[in-house]
Structure 1
Amino acid sequence: MRVTIKNTENDGNISLQESGGFAIVTINRPELKNALTNRMWVDLKAVGKRITQNPKNKVVILRGRKKLFSSGSDLKQFNELSIDEANDAFRMMEEAISTFERIPLPTIGVINGPAMGAGFQLALACDIRIGTTNTLMGFPVGRLGITINQAFAKRIADLIGKSRTMDLVYTGRLLKPQECYDLGLINYLLDDDTDVNHYAIRLGKKIIEQSSASVLAVKRAVSFNNPTVSIPWETGLSESVDPVDFPEGVRSFVEKRKPNFKGKGHQ
């Protein structure tokens, strides 16, 4: 099923395609580098919440149209806002970004181009990120007088450390593909001969083959000490094995076959 939330501002929209266990979310405003308007941030949050309502969804893929991810928020729109309206807009950005961060499913970001500012934050909200030779990441907020909140700063610092986070803001420099990979901002760096969208699907299928109980447990566990992320589901954190998937996983290993998991998330 394909759902598109239309936006009348320069035809920007957020689309959601649900099929074969995948929820594929696409930011569509390529003529303006997929910059999100305030309305698009609201729509993105709504799409994130919609994904969790479909029990058939197993993996989320977040991407931008063409060889782009997102340049962040539409700065031209910010020029028309009051200070109070701008602060409200940043709160909505964080709500949309954290909605995807907290989705109780594995999330894959396809960073096939620039991911800047709030677009950079949205990319970091994904569990796994796939980069290409077009990937460019940065957080050049200093030239705009933006004072970032704790949640924004922590997403970066958790991956690259405090000093590098401060360096990004102090200098406003942009990170090229290899540096993004070396710093752990992207998990996979593809060459020009590899179709990034097909690669994301193959990676998602590999994830779907795993025990959903294991996948969800590690997502919850790694977020456990992060005060900015509250994972809204239970995965038996006090236990070390899933009562359904663990016996099947061990049995399939002994029998040298692929497991047929039916535990949490496989209903």
Structure 2
Amino acid sequence: MSRVMAPQVTRSSGGRVARIVIGPGVRRNALTSAGWAGIERAVGRLATDDSLRVVVIEGASGWFCAGSDIREWDAASMDDVELSFQRMEAACRAVEELPVPVIGKVRGAAAGAGCQLALACDLRVMSDNASIGMPIAVLGILVSVSFANRLTAVAGAAAARELLYTGRMVGAEEAVRLGLANACVRGEDLDRRVDQVIDSILGASGAAVRAAKSAVSAIQAPARVAAGAVAGGSPVAYDDFSKGVDAFLHRRRARAHRLAR
């Protein structure tokens, strides 16, 4: 199993800016169930801080998040798989419910649940070699209404359907065109661009920014409530899911074997 690391949370600008670095720094920051729970706890601790003005979420070692650690699902029970999905959703909801803007700083891949985590952020700034998408159908994962809602809210129904049906990953430039990202910049400029966004937010009235987030969240609330109301049932077609996990792990082991030769 991957190392389970608590998200690293640092503060700057007199404590007004929190930076959360997620993932173990290996396997493209694919997260275990415990990793998702750690994100929820870290974000929850920030939610009551009245001095906080903005949060940045990024992945360790040059990757955002490749979703869940598939190895955790090898021969897992249905209950364990469902618990994992519940923790993914709880982490994303915690990000959405923060009262201050959250910036997703995306390098590498934001895939599957990693895509959902990025979409839970208010703003997404991507490096030009980053990608984002929901390649979950191949694993027999039945997309939840909450997952579909986030994708539809930012990209529209037509794009959401195409990406969910095909599992296609989207490059950063196309992500901006689709509304999945706010900006695409060269990798070496990503830190500077995110810092510029932070400075713009800090230059505005803190009360006004919080009110703006609350107002937009209120507009989105009916869809989120509806998504929660119809959620339920298994997140996977279990037979297809088990086959998909086995095939994924087989490809991963075969590639590791080739590289080791």
User: TM-score of the superposition, structure 2-length normalised?
Assistant: 0.80
Structure 1 residue 222: Cα displacement:
1.7
Structure 2: which 5+ runs fail to align? 226-261
Q: Which structure 2 residues correspond to residues 155-166 of structure 1 after superposition, within 5 A?
A: 155-166=150-161
- Which deviations, in whole Å up to 9, do the C-alpha atoms of 1:41-68 show, x marking residues without a partner? 1110000111123332211000011221
The residue that corresponds to 1:29 in the other structure is 24
1:97 aligned onto 2:100: no
- Which deviations, in whole Å up to 9, do the C-alpha atoms of 1:188-226 show, x marking residues without a partner? 1112441x2233223112101111222122212222233
1:220 aligned onto 2:199: no
- Separation in 1 of the partners of 2:82 and 2:207? 38
1:18 aligned onto 2:11: yes
The residue that corresponds to 1:183 in the other structure is 178
Question: Percent of pairs identical after alignment?
Answer: 32
- Separation in 2 of the partners of 1:220 and 1:53? 15
Alpha-carbon spacing, 1:80–1:17, altered in 2? closer, same or farther (3 Å): farther
> Comparing 80-89 with 151-160, which one deviates more in the overlay?
80-89
Aligned mate of 1:128, from 98, 123, 127: 123
Structure showing the higher helix proportion among its residues: 2
1:131–1:189 Cα contact (<8 Å) kept: yes
1:77 aligned onto 2:72: yes
- Separation in 1 of the partners of 2:2 and 2:138? 26
Q: Which one-letter code corresponds to 1:108 in the other structure? A: I
Q: Which structure 2 residues correspond to residues 186-205 of structure 1 after superposition, within 5 A?
A: 186-194=181-189, 196-205=190-199
Residue 26 of structure 2 aligns to a residue whose secondary structure is helix
Q: Which one-letter code corresponds to 1:211 in the other structure? A: S
1:211 aligned onto 2:215: no
TM-align CA RMSD: 1.7
Q: Which has the higher contact order (CA 8 A, sep 6+)?
A: 2
1:48–1:100 Cα contact (<8 Å) kept: yes
- Which deviations, in whole Å up to 9, do the C-alpha atoms of 1:210-256 show, x marking residues without a partner? 112221222122222333547xxxxxxxxxxxxxxxxxxxxxxxxxx
- Separation in 2 of the partners of 1:228 and 1:48? 22
Structure 1: which 5+ runs fail to align? 1-7, 231-267
Structure 1 residue 13: Cα displacement:
3.5
Q: Which one-letter code corresponds to 1:13 in the other structure? A: A
The residue that corresponds to 1:167 in the other structure is 162
- Separation in 2 of the partners of 1:134 and 1:71? 15
Alpha-carbon spacing, 1:102–1:229, altered in 2? closer, same or farther (3 Å): farther
Larger Rg: 1
2:4–2:35 Cα contact (<8 Å) kept: no
> Comparing 214-223 with 68-77, which one deviates more in the overlay?
214-223
Aligned mate of 1:61, from 56, 60, 74: 56
- Separation in 1 of the partners of 2:79 and 2:96? 26
- Which deviations, in whole Å up to 9, do the C-alpha atoms of 1:101-120 show, x marking residues without a partner? 11000111101110000000
